[in-house]
Homo-oligomer: A and B are copies of this chain.
């Protein structure tokens, strides 16, 4: 039976749009999503879940109300649930997100044009 690994670069090559997470794998009720970000997002929080960010390429900053964390390639950070945060990237950054199925990218923030369609597989 053929088994094939999921290659992040190959998946990233399939789209160019930013701020639109794409699901590449599931583990139980959690999803692995890749996304390309650039610029400033909205302040938001996820009331019921932590959120893991792994940087694949580029540099991500996550602002908190009282500080910020810089995350580069080969680094990760877990934003605790209910903590307000705002991702920012001066240049395009390519990320792997891990969070439960059903989490919206804008969290508890009022849905806007930044709210991505959920559960899009690539």
Which A positions have Cβ atoms within 8 angstroms of B?
A: 1-9, 25-28, 30, 32, 49-52, 56, 62, 64, 66-72, 74-78, 81, 98-100
A30: nearest chain-B partner, CB-CB:
B30
Q: What is the oligomeric copy number?
A: 2
| Additional A-B contact list (15), CB under 8 Å, known A1-B66, A5-B76, A6-B76 | A3-B62, A5-B70, A5-B71, A5-B72, A5-B77, A6-B75, A6-B77, A25-B52, A25-B78, A26-B50, A27-B78, A27-B98, A27-B99, A28-B49, A32-B78
Chain B residues with Cβ below 8 Å from A72 are 5
Given the known interface contacts A27-B78, A30-B30, the answer about A64 and B3 at a Cβ–Cβ threshold of 8 Å is: yes
C-alpha gap A4/B77 in the complex (Å): 8
Docked-complex contact A9 and B74, CB < 8 angstroms: yes
Docked-complex contact B30 and A68, CB < 8 angstroms: no
Chain B residues with Cβ below 8 Å from A28 are 49-50, 81, 100
A85: nearest chain-B partner, CB-CB:
B3
Chain B residues with Cβ below 8 Å from A67 are 1-3
